Structure 1
Amino acid sequence: MMRGGGTPSPTAGPVPHAARVIPDTYEAGSAGVAGARVADAGREGGPARDRDEKTPQSVSGLSHAPLGPTNMRALTLSTAVALLALGCTFEGMVTPPDLDGGPVIDRDADPFPGWRHCRGGDGGAGDASCGDASAPPPVDAGPPPPPCNEISFRYVNPGASTVWVSGSFTPRSTDPSEWARDPSEGALEMVNDGTGVWTLTTLIEPFGRHEYKLIIDGTDWIADPNAEELVADGFGGQNGVLLVCTTGCGEIDAFDWRDAVMYFAMVDRFRDSDGRADPVPGATGGDATRGPSGQYEGGDLPGATGALDYLADLGVTAVWLSAPYENRDSAGAAIDPASDSHQYSAYHGYWPSPANIDYSDPRNPSPRPAVESRIGSASDLRTFVDTAHATTGADGRPMKVLFDYVMNHVDIDSGLHAAHPDWFARRGDGRLPLCGPENLWDDPYWGTRCAFTDYLPAFEFDNADARRWSVNDALWWAREYDLDGYRLDAIKHVPLNWLTDLRARLDSEITAPEGGRFYLVGETFAYDDPGLIRSFVDPDTMLDGQFDFPLKARLCEAVFRPDGNLGNLSSWMDGNDAFYGPSAIMTTWAGNHDIPRVIHFASGEIGNCREGSNPGNGWDWRPPQPSDAAPYERLGVAFAILFTNPGIPLLYYGDEIGLAGGG
């Protein structure tokens, strides 16, 4: 199947620096940001830093292997590094006043004489005049391109007498809810060229996503073997999928998740609006501004709200907020108490402690789900979301908000567990199956039922009542706070029936936010098992994407290690881009809350690019803030690669200044 469209790009002249390659050694300026205090410890450990504290301003050389043969991605990588090498900054990145960042790319400037800004219309290549230069092209541009909703079908079957096309774009004249069964009802006839090659070129309307089949000899409905995408038809077979674009000029300002830039703000460790904290008795204390702490430190929702303008200036378009739900009210031991004797609070939000909420009326639960009081109130949370939606992000659109949703387990002292102990997985003798001590993390059965600790029992989602309660809860928060998406924690430890139920009900019950869908991104901690990550990605029935752990590892190896090779990274990324499917929207990242701070990978202090959470790093290592420029330059290169390649790049709070921390 082929499609029309594709207006030739206007001749815009040379793109600044695009032809430059990576020199054997390059110089890149470090970027810094001024702002409020960032308390960073606990999971990350390590000393916190004041944002008013300057990052190193000196510049030093950094060697990399030269690129091999130039291809499109190699050009992208070399361009990104060359821009940094020349001191260029990207819109939204802030450079200290005493460091010359070089010229800034002006997105609003006309790219070449005669350029006309395209406004109005609804996208596509049908209107060839819009988006072209008004000046005549230097050479014959040839005939105008066909409309982009012009679709060509081709099917080879010498033995067939007739071949028709029927789908959601050919409704029956007598019953529009069903597909046409033959040409008299609207099915499209393909033409045999005399050798058994059947073809059809036609305009498909309406625009959008369609499913279809081929009808052979009037009775045999089959999937088109040349379809760009296949999906289940609900009857044990498959349908072909058509994505039919619009014609016209296009709304260039429309939001698309593929263009998003995400920022993860762990509320308790992000910004403190009032200087107060509400500690949990028994948690290992300490002031996170001076050292590691397992205690609440006072970051709150009003503080996060006050940072939204800063995030917009940074270039952010979507904020992932740590789980704001009511959490465990007492201290808890580490996952492996044998190696970590410290006691922790639930400052991170991953120990939900819901009351026995009745969702008989899913829109009016009783009692009302509670926000964790240590970070703010329900009013504070609503103010954060409403203010974010009223804040213009770097893309010129309202900023988007995702919550971290924790569906695997609850606090054993919660009202929900007390009222429904049968909703939670246990062994035959009543004991909780423990993931770590019993080595059940990857067990085919217990891996989706084991408890991370003895105070976090996991749901038994084969219990329909438990599964329904959890999905109702997720929908309530999404609807109540007008969310744009969820980051789903530890998705590989949850049965697929929970995920498919959630997606189906989100699609049917929640009004799609701007961007056309409620974005679901999962966390599957697997650096070397992309197949496992992919098994949860299907925007129609499961996740839109996942955090790209394999890319993180290879990015680290190529950019942060002395023997790194950008050419090898480029070749690997060529295959990785398509691996998760054409509709997947992965989230790419260099640092997060489950590993040591990325600046220590960039500095070479941590050589294992697959390093995970290590309590010794957070409590005993206490890595200092690097004092030389090279780690910050390497980090800038890593972000340049993420920001110029497919996926939603993630900034973990503090990584924009290379904040130190053990993890």
Structure 2
Amino acid sequence: MKLTPNILIGLIIMIHLNAFERTIVHPDWSRNATIYEVNIRQFSQGGTFQEFEKSLPELKKMGIKILWLMPIHPIGEVHRKGNLGSYYAVRDYTDINPEFGTKADFRRLVEKTHELGMYLIIDWVANHAAWDNVWTKTHIEYFDRDTLGNHITEVKDWTDVIDLDYDNPDLRRVMTDAMKYWVKEFDIDGFRCDVAAMVPTDFWNNVRRELETIKPVFMLAEAYEPELHTQAFDMTYAWTYKDWMNAMAKGKKDVRQLDRLILKEQKMYHPDDYRMMFVTNHDLNSWDGTAYERLGDAAEICLVFICLFPGMPLVYNGQEAGLNKALSFFEKDLIPWQEHPNRELFTRLLNLKQTNQALWNGTAGGEFTRLKTSNDKQVFAFCRQKEQHKVIAVFNFSNQQQVVRIHHNKLEGEYINALTDSKLALSDKATLRLNKWNYLVLVTN
């Protein structure tokens, strides 16, 4: 067959479309899930799997379904930062950091997690490895080097790691095998993949296919690129909403910019793409300031917002205790556990997410309807509804009391305040008074 220009163009288009054909099937158990990030080192005085295991029942009670453990592997010693080093400088991809315990301890943690109906994923650092990673002694060709044979680190501040070379098919194979090892041998439920966009997407696509031959897995990318959702990842980071919350809390943005952001994201992502909503995580807490330092009096309303807005909420360990301390990244620095209203707030909202289908993830959740108000500069209102399940949420994203009118047929109904249990009946018109940084969450009675 003669390849005419038109046929060539057609083939290129077919190849392109096939490369981005949507094959992702989310695990059924992820549909109503909330994710909880665990920093084993700082979680308890001993910083071990065994000590963390004691907290599983409380996390289950709070409404957590997915546990994301920061890297559990041995940490590099060459060019180590601080005394204990960064978890993200991996010395051996198939071993356990002895600070945390043994492989038997980890296997027991996975088993206990599953017994409680929860799931566990581990952090995976595929882009780079420690200077003294075991492969530097056996397979130097796995690493990216310059013309003089020197190791390369793409990000200058990452002085404790060296880049891996994904042009090498042997590296791709052994990295894939290492990931399969943890699924096969320890029955983990997936991975959170560090700086996922710095690794070729076709590598992740293949990884997902191979992991799925073992069991259904859940994959979280530390990235935002929409194409990562098509074949490899269930969820990406919703950094844009975090940025809006930071700016809004400082008076630099308001609800008008939020409305524009929502429209932009709706065009960028498939309706069944999971986006991870968060006010803090290990990076933000250690490097950008605590949630309270960044958001001030708006911290609580932002927490409620991420639990109700479309997407999967992330809880970083310690948030339930009102964590207002930047945890050291390279040293022992225990979370200051204490009783705090956040625990009850999370318990109500995250358990509501599990039982109210309007709040489920992706297309399993309810239709999102923006409810226009008489002040759409400071007040943000919406409805999410799935069959008989309906949630009405109204947020005063300002430091002033607001009285607003809302007129929409979605309003009408009999409701229970999800946080106070009080009852309220609404017609299709309502006038609401909200104190500064206050919110209203109603669910159908």
TM-score, length basis structure 1: 0.44
**Structure 2 unaligned blocks of 5 or more:** 1-9, 328-445
Q: Which residue of 2 aligns with 1:353?
A: 91
Q: Aligned-residue CA RMSD in angstroms?
A: 3.1
For the pair 1:519 / 2:209, whether they are aligned, the reply is no
Tell me which of the two structures has the higher relative contact order, counting C-alpha pairs closer than 8 angstroms and 6 or more residues apart: 1
What is the aligned counterpart of 1:319 among 58, 67, 76? 67
User: 1:262–1:606: structure 2 CA closer, same or farther, 3 Å change rule?
Assistant: closer
Counterpart amino acid of residue 255 in structure 2: L
Matched, 1:536 2:212: no
Per the alignment, in what secondary structure is the counterpart of residue 641 of structure 1?
helix
Q: Distance in 1 between matches of 2:294 and 2:20?
A: 49
Q: Give how far 1:409 is off.
A: 1.9
Deviation at 1:401, TM superposition (A): 0.8
Q: 1:238 to 1:464 in 2, by over 3 A?
A: closer
Q: In structure 2, which of residues 96, 101, 106 is the aligned counterpart of residue 381 of structure 1?
A: 106
Cα deviations by residue, 1:285-342 (Å, 9 ceiling, x for unpaired): xxxxxxxxxxxxx311011111111111222111101111222246614xxxxxxxxx
Distance 1:260 1:511 in 2: 18
- Tell me the residue number matched to 2:178: 473
Pick from 202, 210, 235 the counterpart of residue 545 of structure 1: 235
Deviation at 1:390, TM superposition (A): 0.8
Question: Who is 1:573 aligned against?
Answer: 262
- Is the CA contact 1:577–1:646 (under 8 Å) kept in the aligned structure 2? no
C-alpha deviation, 1:510, in angstroms: 1.6
Residue 415 of structure 1, CA deviation: 2.4
2:440 aligns to what?
none
8 Å contact kept, 1:258–1:648 = no
Give the 3-state SS of the residue equivalent to 1:457 in structure 2.
strand
Q: Distance in 1 between matches of 2:302 and 2:168?
A: 44
1:423 and 1:382 mapped to 2: Cα distance? 29
Give 1:266-281 correspondences, 5 Å limit. 266-272=39-45
How far apart in 1 are the matches of 2:287 and 2:149? 42
Q: Distance in 2 between matches of 1:413 and 1:238?
A: 36
Q: 1:329 to 1:654 in 2, by over 3 A?
A: same
CA distance in 1, matches of 2:226, 2:80: 33
Amino acid at match of 1:417: T
- AA matched with 2:88: Y
Identity %: 21
Cα distance change, pair 269–577 in 1 and its aligned pair in 2 (3 A): farther
The answer for the alignment partner of 2:404 in structure 1 is: none
Q: Over residues 156-198 of structure 1, what are the superposed CA-to-partner deviations in whole Å (9 max), with x where a residue is unaligned?
A: xxxxxxxxxxxxxxxxxxxxxxxxxxxxxxxxxxxxxxxxxxx
Aligned AA (1:390): E
2: distance between equivalents of 1:598 and 1:428? 34
Compare CA radii of gyration and give the structure with the larger one: 1
Structure 1 stretches of at least 4 aligned residues deviating more than 4 Å after TM superposition? 232-243, 597-603
Residue by residue over 1:611-655, the C-alpha shift from the partner in whole angstroms, topping out at 9 and shown as x without a partner, is xxxxxxxxxxxxxxxxxxxx4x52221111111111110011112
Q: Which of 139, 143, 150 is the aligned partner of 1:424?
A: 143
The 5-angstrom pairing of residues 238-253 of structure 1 reads none
Three-state SS of the structure 1 residue aligned to 2:274 is coil
Q: Does 1:308 align with 2:27?
A: no
Q: Report how far residue 434 of structure 1 moved.
A: 3.0
Give unmatched runs, 5+ long, in structure 1: 1-222, 224-231, 244-253, 273-297, 334-342, 356-368, 392-397, 438-450, 513-517, 525-529, 608-630
Question: Could you tell me which of 585, 588, 591 is aligned with 2:277?
Answer: 588
Deviation at 1:572, TM superposition (A): 2.4
Give me the whole-angstrom Cα distance separating, in 1, the residues matched to 2:313 and 2:274: 11
Q: Give me the whole-angstrom Cα distance separating, in 2, the residues matched to 1:549 and 1:240.
A: 25
- 1:241 Cα deviation from its structure 2 partner: 8.4
More strand by share: 2
Letter in 2 for 1:378: K
**What's the counterpart of residue 187 of structure 1?**
none
Determine if the alignment matches structure 1 residue 661 to structure 2 residue 302.
Answer: no
Whole-Å Cα distance in 1 between the matches of residues 189 and 266 of structure 2? 24
Per residue, is there more helix in 1 or in 2?
2
Secondary structure of the corresponding residue to residue 150 of structure 2: coil
The SS at the match of 2:36 is strand
State the number of aligned residues: 314
The answer to whether the 8 Å contact 2:191/2:218 transfers is yes
Cα gap change, 1:427 to 1:266, in 2 (>3 Å):
same
CA change 1:421–1:331 in 2 (3 A) is closer
In structure 2, do the counterparts of structure 1 residues 261 and 498 end up closer, same or farther at CA, with 3 Å as the change threshold?
Answer: same
Which amino acid in the other structure matches residue 55 of structure 2? Answer: A
CA contact under 8 A between 2:44 and 2:52: conserved in structure 1?
A: yes
Q: 1:474 to 1:462 in 2, by over 3 A?
A: same
